[in-house]
Amino acid sequence: MANLPDGSPVNAASPSLQPVASGERIAVLDMLRGAALLGILLMNIEAFSGPLDLAFTGIDAHWQGIDYWADAFVYVFVQGKFFTLFSLLFGAGFAVMAQRAEVAGRGFTPFYLRRSAGLLLIGLFHALLVWSGDILVMYALVSLPLLACREAPRSWLPWMGVMLYLGGVVMMLMVGAMVSMASAEDVQKMLAEARQSIDQQRLVYGHGSWMQANVQRLSEFGTSMGALLITGPEVLGMFLIGSWFAGSGALVAPERFPRLYAVLRWIALPLGLLVTVLGVAWKPYLVPGAYDLPVTAAMALVTIGGLLMCLGYLAWIVRWRTQLGWLAPVGRMALTHYLAQSLVCTLLFYHYGLGWFEVMPRSVQLLSALLLFASQVVISHLWLRRFRFGPMEWLWRAMTYGQLPAMRRDAGQG
């Protein structure tokens, strides 16, 4: 059994790249994925329970009391922090797979392209048939330029990542500058289009059938692809930062990087919180369609703060990894649970399900998200006692490796 540069094992005698057995996994990555999955659900629950275009718009003044503070909590401490962490972990997984291929002496590019194609197919089904807030299609597309960065010197990766992330912020500010220079008539038209889109989402998801919702999702898919101009560089930046964290050994052997983690815990996290609060104080609520320069500047502050807070969260989770080990099984089934969250929540809130669209108070949304995640923790522990992979992880591996991996624990290794 050979070892990766970070000390984790890889079966170099294997005739081809094989699905990773549970004994070869890097536990801290799974633990971080579990934490990120909770944060993503706390963020997304707003977009499930009402119009997607009304979600992620800051602190909505129509909420009162505990619901207002629940909305503020998510905007300041959750939104944009765990999505970036999830992206970082995708890049970390890329680095681990590349290292395994190099140590095993096997070709990596064809395998990786099949993996990306599989993720793209799963993402398309999710985006078009379940929920239009999908991130998998974006990950699959952005994974291609990540492959092109594979030969970059490792020491360059975090700096390249930060520059790309900030490039997305610059693009956001450029959009704001262009909107600020637009005529009053054009601005009113954008606001009207945003209101029309929200009304359409209310009509379809609050009162329509599943087939009508699919037509709406197809329409929204094109809009989401347009957002790649801003979100694409940010996601690729996090991929590269994650590649450095895994490739350098900073995740597997954090004790070798005490100064880095001290900076992330005690400087990056408080600084990120301060920058975020400044952006929130400047523009607590972002009116849909109103993307002038002051609005995008406030959004830019929140986005920059989100990167710093994400890294701070990562550092604290790594610090508490012994106590948070119960999150690892959820992280091992992250794809399954991410898709399950969409399926369960759309069936709860959309008209073709229970029809609770725009009914649930904000605080109850968060409580529901916590209960759903708690059930996923229990399911993960029970499922992985008998099976090696989650259902969607098994399907993704089958698409990637061109073979059906053994699912039951007693049917193969792990």
Q: Is residue 310 part of a domain?
A: no
More confident residue, 72 or 8: 72
Q: Is residue 282 part of a domain?
A: no
What DSSP letter does each residue of 46-70 carry, written as one string?
HHHHS-GGGTTSB--TT--THHHHH
Q: Is the per-residue pLDDT at 142 higher than 90?
A: yes
Q: Is the per-residue pLDDT at 347 higher than 60?
A: yes
Q: Is residue 281 part of a domain?
A: no
The partner residues of 10 in beta bridges, in order of sequence, read 2
pLDDT band at 391 (very low <50, low <70, confident <90, very high): very high
pLDDT digits (tens, 9 = 90+) for 73-96: 999 999 999 999 999 999 999 999
Q: Is residue 43 part of a domain?
A: yes
pLDDT score, position 6:
39
Dihedral pair phi/psi, residue 276, rounded to 5°: -65, -45
pLDDT band at 355 (very low <50, low <70, confident <90, very high): very high
Q: Residue 234 and residue 84: Cα distance in Å, rounded?
A: 8
What are 363's two structure tokens?
């605080």
pLDDT score, position 102:
81
Chain centroid, CA 347 distance in Å:
21
Other C-beta atoms lying within 10 Å of the C-beta of residue 181: 10
pLDDT score, position 396:
96
What are 381's two structure tokens?
């522990």
Q: Is residue 308 part of a domain?
A: no
Q: Residue 85 and residue 316: Cα distance in Å, rounded?
A: 13
What integer best gives the mean pLDDT of the chain?
92
What are 300's two structure tokens?
């830019």
Do 401 and 350 form a contact (C-beta atoms < 8 A)?
no
Q: Is residue 153 part of a domain?
A: yes
More confident residue, 88 or 227: 88
Where does residue 197 rank: exposed (0-12), middle (13-18), buried (19+ CB within 10 A)? buried
Closest CA to 53 of 175, 198, 188, 256: 198
Domains in the chain, number: 1
The region, left, alpha or beta by phi > 0 then psi within -120 to 50, assigned to residue 79 is beta
Please give the residue range of the domain that contains residue 94: 2-11+21-164+203-256+315-411
Grouping H, G, I as helix, E, B as strand and the rest as coil, residue 2 is strand
The contacts of residue 403 (CB under 8 Å, 6+ apart) are none
Q: Residue 136 and residue 86: Cα distance in Å, rounded?
A: 11
Q: Is the per-residue pLDDT at 15 higher than 70?
A: no
Do 244 and 96 form a contact (C-beta atoms < 8 A)?
no
Question: What is the mean predicted confidence (pLDDT) over 334-356?
Answer: 98
Do 327 and 376 form a contact (C-beta atoms < 8 A)?
no
Q: Is residue 396 part of a domain?
A: yes
Question: What is the mean predicted confidence (pLDDT) over 170-182?
Answer: 95
Q: Is residue 174 part of a domain?
A: no
pLDDT score, position 387:
96
390 to 46, 383, 409: CA distances (angstroms): 26, 8, 12
304 to 12, 21, 80, 85, 282: CA distances (angstroms): 41, 37, 9, 13, 15
Q: Residue 138 and residue 228: Cα distance in Å, rounded?
A: 7
The contacts of residue 226 (CB under 8 Å, 6+ apart) are none
Where does residue 333 rank: exposed (0-12), middle (13-18), buried (19+ CB within 10 A)? buried
Do 41 and 334 form a contact (C-beta atoms < 8 A)?
no
